[in-house]
Structure 1
Amino acid sequence: MGGGAVVQQEPTPLTRHLRIREHRGHTVLEFRGEIDIAAAAEITPALDRVTGRPGARVVIDLRAVEFFDCSGLRLLYRARSRVLERGGRLHLVCTHPLTLRVFRVTGLSRLLPPQPSLDAALEQPEAASG
């Protein structure tokens, strides 16, 4: 291969706050940095594209998130309902203690149990929809 072009396996960031990659047959949406209302507005179009596919298998990975507010929560609820409407699966990876506390307080962790790693998430049994 000439031309000095580097073949890049790592996808380019779509926005500062989102990277999308494939892992073991799942689409991984990796949220990054501070997820506030401005970041959520950047992320929504790509999130909707991924979660709009029939039978999508999606993992939202929050390990690179430093700050997460109610607009981030709305993104997760939106992703979950869109994926379940279309017969897909959604998993969540999160290790940040403050974000985990937000999930517990709001009840999101019952709907979307956070997993400590990508592999742990993908080993979960089929999540019941509804």
Structure 2
Amino acid sequence: MKWLIFLIILGVSEVAVIGQLHSILGLYALIGLYIVTTAIGGVFLYMQYPEFKRSMNASKKIGKKFKKQFAGEEYSLSAEQLEKLRPFFFVVRYGVAFALIVIPGVVSDIVGVVMVLPVVISYFINRSIDKAIAKAEAQP
């Protein structure tokens, strides 16, 4: 539900910003701005690509291990297992940032670039894991 609200707000703000920028800059400057913001986002994604590749390989290995361990059973992950999911959370965040940067628009590019900044990534990954651990510990 939070993601749906986020996408609606992002879409509405994108339309509002595009309308204002079009009236201020004109069509050709706006297209140029799209290209520049997408290129900047691409540079940030490229800089994080080695970490993405490493995290993707680690996620696959962890996923196979968990799949074998819990095949056919209903289960919940322990706090230690949740800590091992950091690479998975990085891969998901990178994928969302990639999608936002590829989508044409200035606001989505800015949000995508912010999502791949190392400080922001570590904050949100730590927050996500802490929430999942608290939820796992609260279950009987």
Task: Compute the TM-score of the two structures, normalised by the length of structure 1.
Answer: 0.24
**Greater share of residues in helix:** 2
**Greater share of residues in strand:** 1
Task: Compute the TM-score of the two structures, normalised by the length of structure 2.
Answer: 0.23
Kindly name which structure, 1 or 2, has the bigger radius of gyration based on alpha carbons: 2
